Amino acid sequence: MFEQFWVVIPAAGVGSRMRADRPKQYLQVAGRTIIEHTLDCFLGHSRLRQLVVSLAVDDPYWPKLSCASDPRICRADGGGERADSVLAGLHRLFELGASDEDWVLVHDAARPNLSRQDLDRLLAQVQGDPVGGLLAVPARDTLKRAGADGRVEETIDRSVIWQAFTPQMFRLGMLQHALAGALEAGVAITDEASALEWAGHRPKLVEGRADNLKVTRPEDLRWLEQHLQR
């Protein structure tokens, strides 16, 4: 069977923790917006068929970017939550000719430092997996579980803890079914893997680089600026 690989970038969020005048994916770093750097991680990869970006319906920033007219990128109308935006992106892929058994890679719009090596490693290690998987990094620091009073309840065994990154790669049909079911059940979905876990699956962890940073706070933006300038 000839397998196809697609990409969905949910980008309808506002990024309130950045305390900026616009959604964080449109902040400038090294002369371009964060989302432009993010898209560059995928554009031109020979194995990826098409990218879909799920945006707020009234997004005034996207049309001003040169990549908005790139034929390799399609737009979908995102929703109020991440899962809604991902589902909208999956629906757009089906309109473009994708099938249930195709693979889709879901990636954060504000995670612009994905290396080609990590992307290739994810494709290679997950392609034959019955469930799918995600890039992640084993915990390095000592982890504490806090109580409601802000004091340590216990130290957690870090050897079994991984920090989840993106891309996360699953079959389109399986991911759509898991996301829709979890939303209908009122389950809190923080990433695509959590929807698959809710549906009873165990996604594969693929170790990636720790500098695959998601820009969340102002200090992340400063780090990224320095990194890209180097």
Tokens of 203: 């996604």
For residue 46, pLDDT over 80 is answered with: yes
pTM beyond cutoff 0.85? yes
H helices of 42-171, in order, are 82-95, 116-126
What average pLDDT does the structure give for the chain? 94
pLDDT tens-digit readout, 50-75: 999 999 999 999 999 999 999 999 99
Write out pLDDT tens, residues 88-124.
999 999 999 999 999 999 999 999 999 999 999 999 9
Q: Which CATH architecture has domain 5-129+166-191+211-229?
A: Alpha-Beta Complex (3.90)
Q: Where are the domains of the chain?
A: 5-129+166-191+211-229
Helix (H) or strand (E) holding 179: helix 172-184
Residues forming beta bridges with residue 164, ordered by sequence position:
136
Is pLDDT of 184 > 80?
yes
The β-bridge relationship of strands 204-207 and 32-33 is unpaired
